[in-house]
Structure 1
Amino acid sequence: MLNRPPVQDIFRAPFEVLPGTRDRRLLILCDHASNALPKDYALLGLPEAEFERHIAYDIGAAGVVRRLAEILGANAVLSGFSRLLIDPNRGPDDPTLVMRLSDGSVIPGNARIGPEEVTKRMQAYYEPYHAAITGLIDEALDLGDVPVLVSIHSFTPSWKGVPRRWQAGLLWDKDPRLAGPLIEELKAEGLVTGDNEPYDGALENDTMYRHGTLRGLPHALIEVRQDLISEPDGQAEWAERLARMLTSILKDPALSRIEHFGSRVGHGHTAPPNDV
């Protein structure tokens, strides 16, 4: 019998902060960095193999974030818990905040969850993660810097049997300052890049809405197809690519000011599947 490592991360804390050493103006986020669960939750009744799937975390995203933060000397915040416990990239009132069914898998530990347990998970895991982000934003603003928020996610190569042609996608609401140049740079390298594809970036009270849109900070959510970053070499390649692009884009003075663009939220937009 092979002695392979466990497929699930060990839960340590609700979040991890990687302190910046150079460009503290840039804040890199990873909402779905981990597939870890506290022991009390007993895998939510799922087989351990389910935690290798995208329903539990964003495959490859944490590796990209760690390498990108290292290259740029930027602050980063990574979640320390599985999205199956509670999804930090959803608003408190979003029906997909705690998933009962995800991509064909019933989540037994969530199936009969009540409001008290949701509140418990919010207080213990969700809010500490967001408080860490808020703290770093406030710290930068106190120093006279306008933070630029970059959130790294990954998406499945196919959804419900339909292959996805995009290699990356930029999700954004109405603030084009960061998403627009990144789309142009990625397309210039010949990469098939989605503009609010495979999902729409207008999602009420998600991480970018809460910390970027409402505060007038430049921000963008970058999605990379999982098969391109499932291994360390691919993660390093994408981190180095994004670092090169961001180094150039961040020179734009428009990214050094607070500016409110409003939002498309509330105009018929619905939550995407549990893959963002």
Structure 2
Amino acid sequence: MFNEFELYEISSLLRKYNLACMKEQGYTSINFPAPSSPGITKHNERRYGITDGLLAIRLGYRIPSIEKGDESGTNATALSPDEEFTLTGGSTKPGELGKGGRNKFDKKVPAGGCSGVALKKLGYFPGETPGNPMEVQALDKESFTNSLKSDRVKRSLEKWSSCMRDNGYKYAPEPFSASNDHRFATRSVTKLEKDVATADTRCKQSSRLLTVWSAEETKIQESLIAEHQKELHEVQKQRDTTLSIIERRSGSSS
């Protein structure tokens, strides 16, 4: 539904509105974690793993830091039962609209709580707005998973694995077997990680893995879009509404 950069902007605004609402409800010292920076420079940059050879030489599989971000949310507080009630309106499960009521400060908590208030500021009315963004996430996961079942993708992964062996690195023909190497779970990037990541990008090119994989997944996505056209149309309308509100509100004090 939203790309990584839009989600970062949305999460930042939701945090801002949730904090403001909670303070109005009597919780002046509450804090929520600030969203993490996307850490990439373009949408889906690492959907198929690392592809930038120059970045691999410099950072291995690490994602470069784009910005330091807001550190005011690093000391987030655990919520008490009443704080949870004020935030959610008494919701007991994801997607459920809490009925609201009164909190311990005798403040009137609206249906959906402060979360509902924050969402409404971005044009989404829990329980009323058509278009389920989870539908898009599910379809996105489905297209990715099914693409790995493609014979063409499997053959390209075998070629990639063979190329890695030729470079002295033994990895299974699985998309992230190299980047998930436990030896790279270190605080700082090592020479080995840089060397493997560099070989990874080169082998992706020689095996045509990226070209084949992208083409196969695109075919699957087109089929899923055609099958779920009505639901996706509703989600798209909601996305357009939310983004237009963000454009007006971002950077403002509202």
Give TM-score scaled by structure 2 length: 0.28
Structure with bigger helix share is 2
**Structure with the bigger percentage of strand:** 1
**Who wins on radius of gyration, i.e. which is larger?**
2
